[in-house]
């Protein structure tokens, strides 16, 4: 009789369960921000006969953690969206099988971080300071030109950043300060952060509450005209009537942190060939040119044409901060811990 009561559960599970994966259904494990044009994906599916199922699971960090936990019985065939700040964790866990795509040789070396090709670069973006153009014009305030400018009295109480323990751009910004000020010497990143705290920096947990809640040009009721965001954010603040963006990025040398996103084939997949075709597809012109407007990042392929909106309003820093992913992986927790002590518990 107990069985009778379990039936509805089982039936429910059966009805709602997606059809058992067929030979040619490729499962892509990715984060919440992954996006692609229906058209571009449909063309790939039509050409190869592969059906792509997209599984989204939280932000990039959560996704990598899920993949590590389910390593012995992977959730999908391909994982997209691991960036250089979490790459070390993924590689240490041996999540991927190497694959050298024939298209990889067209990709600049700066993006090809893994010499064994366990992961393939797809796109990149820079975490930069965004500012409210109207505010700075009205206050007749010059823009900060370096990270250390942010500790000057004229920028007191203007900046909002994210907690690196819970936010991807927050972590990127912390890494930028570690790279710029270093860990030893007279003035370390810790001194810089102590000065930022003295200069009334505001910390939020996530990007959303910083950008929409605290930033003056995000759409909410914020009071801070400087925010840590992405270099590709300003195109989305363009006013339809005036054609002007309400915000812009500060792209001065060594103020932005470069994030590169990778795709990898999950070890243990029975659909290796299909997975390889998908990696090739991600490097193909169709996908690469689709990247900017779907995911607000830049394609790694140097010849991929950029949309007009990006050419006009998205800026690329000439000298962004880059950091070795092994170093990030080794010391990430240590830096976050030090940051927490200085900024949150002082």
Of residues 203 through 242, those in contact with another protein by CB under 8 A are 203-209, 211-213, 218-223, 229-230, 233, 236-237
Distance, in Å, from the CA atom of 259 to the CA atom of 59, rounded to the nearest integer, reads 14
Q: Which of 25, 65, 199, 277 binds another protein (CB under 8 A)?
A: 65
C-beta closer to another protein: residue 182 or 285: 285
Tell me: does residue 131 bind another protein (CB under 8 A).
no
C-beta closer to another protein: residue 140 or 221: 221
Q: Which of 33, 48, 117, 148 binds another protein (CB under 8 A)?
A: 33
Q: Which of 166, 188, 199, 315 binds another protein (CB under 8 A)?
A: 166
Q: Could you count the other beta carbons within 10 Å of the beta carbon of residue 8? A: 9
Distance, in Å, from the CA atom of 103 to the CA atom of 276, rounded to the nearest integer, reads 11
Q: Could you count the other beta carbons within 10 Å of the beta carbon of residue 38? A: 7
151 DSSP assignment:
G
Q: Which helix (H) or strand (E) holds 257?
A: strand 257-266
Tell me: does residue 29 bind another protein (CB under 8 A).
yes
Q: Which of 22, 73, 184, 242 binds another protein (CB under 8 A)?
A: 73
Q: How far apart are CB 108 and another protein at their closest, in Å?
A: 27
Tell me: does residue 270 bind another protein (CB under 8 A).
no
Q: Residue 56 contacts by C-beta under 8 Å, 6 or more apart in sequence?
A: 30, 31, 32, 34
Q: Could you count the other beta carbons within 10 Å of the beta carbon of residue 311? A: 11
Distance, in Å, from the CA atom of 32 to the CA atom of 28, rounded to the nearest integer, reads 12
Query: Which of 284, 271, 275, 268 is CA-nearest to residue 102?
Result: 284
Residue-wise DSSP of 323-340: --HHHHHHHHHHHHHHHI
Q: How far apart are CB 182 and another protein at their closest, in Å?
A: 23
Look at strands 298-299 and 119-132 and give their pairing. Answer: antiparallel
Tell me: does residue 23 bind another protein (CB under 8 A).
no
307 DSSP assignment:
P
Q: How far apart are CB 110 and another protein at their closest, in Å?
A: 25
Q: Which of 48, 117, 199, 294 binds another protein (CB under 8 A)?
A: 294
Tell me: does residue 309 bind another protein (CB under 8 A).
no
The site for another protein, by CB under 8 A, has a size of 73
Tell me: does residue 19 bind another protein (CB under 8 A).
no
Distance, in Å, from the CA atom of 249 to the CA atom of 214, rounded to the nearest integer, reads 17
Tell me: does residue 199 bind another protein (CB under 8 A).
no
C-beta closer to another protein: residue 319 or 344: 344
C-beta closer to another protein: residue 111 or 299: 299
Tell me: does residue 311 bind another protein (CB under 8 A).
no
């Amino acid at each position: 009789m107990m069985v009778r009561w379990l039936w509805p559960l089982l039936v429910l599970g059966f009805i709602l369960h997606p059809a058992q994966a067929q030979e040619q259904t490729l499962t892509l494990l990715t984060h919440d921000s992954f996006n692609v044009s229906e058209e571009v994906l449909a063309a790939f599916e039509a050409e190869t006969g592969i059906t792509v199922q997209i599984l989204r699971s939280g932000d990039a960090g959560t996704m990598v953690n899920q993949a590590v936990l389910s390593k012995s019985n992977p959730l999908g065939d391909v994982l997209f969206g691991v960036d250089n700040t979490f790459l070390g964790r993924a590689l240490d866990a041996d999540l991927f099988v190497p694959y050298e795509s024939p298209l990889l040789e067209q990709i600049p070396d700066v993006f090809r971080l893994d010499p064994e090709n366990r992961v393939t670069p797809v796109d990149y973006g820079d975490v930069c300071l965004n500012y409210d153009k109207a505010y700075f014009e009205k206050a007749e305030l010059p823009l900060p030109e370096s990270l250390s400018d942010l500790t000057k009295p004229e920028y007191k109480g203007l900046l909002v950043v994210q907690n690196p323990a819970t936010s991807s751009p927050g972590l990127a910004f912390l890494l930028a300060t570690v790279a710029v000020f270093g860990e030893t010497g007279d003035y370390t990143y810790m001194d810089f952060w102590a000065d930022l705290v003295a200069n009334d920096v505001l910390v939020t947990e996530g990007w959303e509450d910083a950008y929409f809640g605290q930033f003056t040009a995000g759409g909410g009721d914020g009071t801070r005209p400087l925010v840590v965001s992405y270099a590709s954010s300003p195109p989305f603040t363009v006013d339809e009537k005036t054609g002007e963006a309400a915000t812009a990025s500060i792209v001065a040398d060594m103020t932005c942190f470069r994030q590169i996103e990778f795709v990898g084939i999950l070890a243990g997949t029975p659909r290796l060939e299909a997975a390889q075709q998908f990696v090739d597809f991600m490097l193909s012109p169709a996908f690469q040119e689709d990247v900017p407007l779907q995911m607000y990042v830049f394609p790694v392929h140097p010849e991929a044409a950029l949309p007009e909106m990006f050419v006009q309003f998205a800026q690329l820093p000439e000298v962004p901060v880059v950091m070795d992913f092994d170093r990030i992986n080794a010391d990430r927790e240590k830096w976050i811990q030090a940051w927490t002590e200085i900024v949150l518990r002082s």
